[in-house]
Amino acid sequence: MSVSEFLQLVFYGATVGVLLAAPIGPINIEIVRRGLRDGFLNGWLTGLGALSADTIYAMIIVLGLAQFAENESIRVVLFIAGAMMMFYIGYHSIRTSLHETTVDTSTAPRGRSYITGFLMAALNPFGIVYWFTVGAGLTADAVTRFGDSAAPWLVIGVALGILSWVTVISAIAQVSRRFVTGKAMQWITGISGVLLLGYAIWFIVSAWRLL
């Protein structure tokens, strides 16, 4: 593989990563919420946790284990587990919005931010379906065009794209903090909680349809 082909492959993967990460969903909502409430690092760590889960799924494709993960019974379990995760975070956000009136970073649990992001991505069946459909197709295309060594570099490119997106929106949330009052933060936290509860319901309905 030539240097130009390598750069083309990584850029291709990075573009895919940004397109995967950009749509508004539970993870982006949580990154923004934590970034506004707790600062850049907590928002960024939430995104890094999600990136870690996405990278694992990407490696599963590279290793040829996608058929196992596409099993409907496994997807039902993931939908239910994901719904429980979204419900917990959504409920906690709504409860916090009813009492919290200040933005305080002194006790922000950074490790919890990473774990939250990881679990939200790992237990999101829609993200998994994306990887095992679109992701598998992209990997096959890269291997066809650049050879068997292309798949790992494609995964690295995707990871760089997701990381870039996470860094940008975390930075935007950090800059926006100075304009967000305690009352506005309450509203943002409450609305994000309601949206996450909506995703929890969506996951339960999706699991029911697979039964």
pLDDT digits 0-9 by tens, 3-60: 777 788 888 888 878 877 877 788 888 899 889 888 899 999 999 999 999 888 878 7
Model confidence at 148: pLDDT above 80: no
CA 163 to chain centre: 10
pLDDT reported for residue 184: 72
| Residue predicted with more confidence, 119 or 74 | 119
- Residue 92 dihedral angles phi and psi, to the nearest 5°: -65, -40
How many Cα atoms sit within 13 Å of 89 on the Cβ side? 27
**Cβ-contact 113, 30 below 8 angstroms:** no
Residue ranges per domain, the chain?
A: 3-210
